[in-house]
Amino acid sequence: MQEKNISANNFEQCQKCSLCETVCPVMANNPEYGGPKRSGPDGERYRLKNGIFYDDSLKYCLNCKRCEVACPSGVRIADLIQQARIDFNRRPPKLRDMMLASTDQMGPVASAFAPIVNFSLGLAPVKGLLDVTIGLDHRRTLPKYSSETFVRWFNKHAAASQDSFRKHVSYYHGCYANYNYPQLAKDFVAVMNAFGYGVHLIERERCCGVAKIANGMIEAATRDAKINMAAFRKSISAGRDIITVSTTCTMTLLEEYPELLKVDNGDVKAHINLVEQFLYKAIASGEVKPVWKEGWKARAAYHCPCHQERLGLGIFTTELLKMIPGMELIELESNCCGIAGTYGFKKENFKVSQMIGRPLFDEIAAVAPEFVACECETCKWQIEMSTGVAVKNPVSILADALDLQKTSELNSL
């Protein structure tokens, strides 16, 4: 018998049961894509034999990780595919991909000229030009930039008061909340402050790197990862856990750093908390007490983002939202919305992206909620564009449903 009963080579644990293929949203919609089993564990054997067997169709994987959730053998299928793309795809990233991936380089520029950028990006001729020149699909509604970033706002209006709280957390806001939608981050600060937590920024926060990984910019992603990890360690040693709001950033920090970027996070992992998980636990244990607005009512549908499915933390979101009196929460079927970060922005993926999202869009139309509750920013873009139904982050829903004043008073006692 062998020393270890189960292969140390993760891809060899695949039993070829093909369950992953039944959940892959791309395979069902793009015949060019071989699917997770073939691109992942099957392909890995042949790539180990000879790099010539790297197949270009791996680019169609949108890294939703549903295959990994489905796999009964614990094979990190999507990671195998991402890793193969890193190892074998020798084509330099296109200008478009670099622009899409460099969220924290594009962000400051776009924010500085936000009114012009937003206006221009909304114009049909500009979108047509971007489509033709760099392959950004013209049918896509492009995210807006905010003229004042969250960080600027925070330093101006909130930073000074944070030390006065008894308890403290560090906030990893991510690029989206900083450049595109500071209101989410402001809501976060308001909710955390109301529950008695002082909020602090991570020193020199960098983009988590998910878009860079997806677009083959591994060195840049690794550099950023190391900076983030150093900042996290500093924060943790000061007694502040890290709170995140974006599910994709969270998955990247927790899973992709060690697996794909080979940046160790073993000592930090337990201190990174998704906000819904953190708040649910705090409320359920009595650590903090919410006071809800009288007569607040909503009928919402919850869409669980793919990366939340992978993290397995969606239950905290639904249970947290159900704590709100007056909340009627309908949990949608588990489906991918199709955008997968930068994937759906690319011209070559637009059609497949919309086909993948179709079952979700149809269900939302049938349920006809007031709004969709969802933790993910790119799901928000996709669902709002494709259904016309507003998507709210659970943190913003809490900020709305909580009586912040009374909550604050109750928790500062």
Partner 1 sequence: MPINNEFDVIIVGGGITGAGTARDCAMRGLKVLLIERHDIATGATGRNHGLLHSGARYALKDSESAEECIRENKILRSIASNCIEDTGGLFITLPEDADSGFGLDYQTKFIDACIKAGIDAQAISPEEAREKEPSVNPSLIGAVVVPDGSVDPFRLCAANVTDAAMHGAKILVYTEFLDFIREGDTILGVKVLDTRTGLKAEYRAPVTVNAAGIWGHGVAAKAGIHIGMYPAKGALLVFGHRVNNVVINRCRKSADGDILVPGDSVTVIGTTSTKVPFEECDNMEVTPEEVSLLLREGCALCPSLASTRILRAYAGVRPLVADDSDPSGRSISRGIVCLDHETRDGVKGFVSITGGKLMTYRLMAELATDAVCRKLGENKLCETAETPLPGSVDGRIETVSKRFEGKVSLGQKSAAGRQGDLVGKLRFDSEADRQLVCECENVTLAEIKYAVAELGVTSLMDLRRRTRVGMGTCQGTLCIRKAAKALAAALGDPSLEGKLAADYLDERWKGMRAVGWGDTLREMEFMQRVYKYEKPYSYDEI
In the complex, which residues of this chain contact partner 1 (CB under 8 A)?
1-9, 11-18, 34, 37-38, 41-46, 48-50, 52-53, 55-56, 73
SS percent in the chain: helix, strand, coil, step 5? 55, 10, 35
Measured between alpha carbons, how far is 181 from 187 in angstroms, rounded to an integer?
11
Report, in Å, the least distance between residue 275 CB and partner 1: 39
Report, in Å, the least distance between residue 49 CB and partner 1: 5
Q: Using the Cα atoms of residue 307, residue 357, residue 67 and residue 102 in order, give the sign of their dihedral.
A: negative
Report, in Å, the least distance between residue 81 CB and partner 1: 14
Measured between alpha carbons, how far is 280 from 51 in angstroms, rounded to an integer?
47
Report, in Å, the least distance between residue 92 CB and partner 1: 20
DSSP states of 73-117 as a string?
T---HHHHHHHHHHHH--SPPPHHHHHHH-HHHHHHHHHHTHHHH
Beta bridge partners of 299: 328
Our CB check for partner 1 shows the closer of 78 and 404 to be 78
Report, in Å, the least distance between residue 78 CB and partner 1: 18
Our CB check for partner 1 shows the closer of 37 and 127 to be 37
- Name the residue type at position 30: N
Tokens 């604050």 belong to 408
Our CB check for partner 1 shows the closer of 42 and 403 to be 42
Measured between alpha carbons, how far is 246 from 244 in angstroms, rounded to an integer?
6
Contact 221, 213 (CB under 8 A): yes
Q: Token pair of 352, please?
A: 């497949």
Q: What is residue 8's DSSP assignment? A: S
Our CB check for partner 1 shows the closer of 24 and 100 to be 24
Report, in Å, the least distance between residue 41 CB and partner 1: 8
Report, in Å, the least distance between residue 79 CB and partner 1: 17
Our CB check for partner 1 shows the closer of 31 and 295 to be 31
- The residue among 163, 239, 176 whose CA lies nearest residue 207 is 176
Question: What crossing angle do the helices spanning 103-112 and 114-122 adopt, rounded to 10°?
Answer: 100
C-beta atoms surrounding 149 within 10 Å: 23
Our CB check for partner 1 shows the closer of 13 and 118 to be 13
Q: What is residue 140's DSSP assignment? A: S
Our CB check for partner 1 shows the closer of 6 and 230 to be 6
Report, in Å, the least distance between residue 5 CB and partner 1: 4
Report, in Å, the least distance between residue 343 CB and partner 1: 21
Contact 198, 168 (CB under 8 A): yes
Our CB check for partner 1 shows the closer of 11 and 153 to be 11
Measured between alpha carbons, how far is 120 from 222 in angstroms, rounded to an integer?
33
Our CB check for partner 1 shows the closer of 15 and 141 to be 15
Q: Using the Cα atoms of residue 308, residue 313, residue 314 and residue 317 in order, give the sign of their dihedral.
A: negative
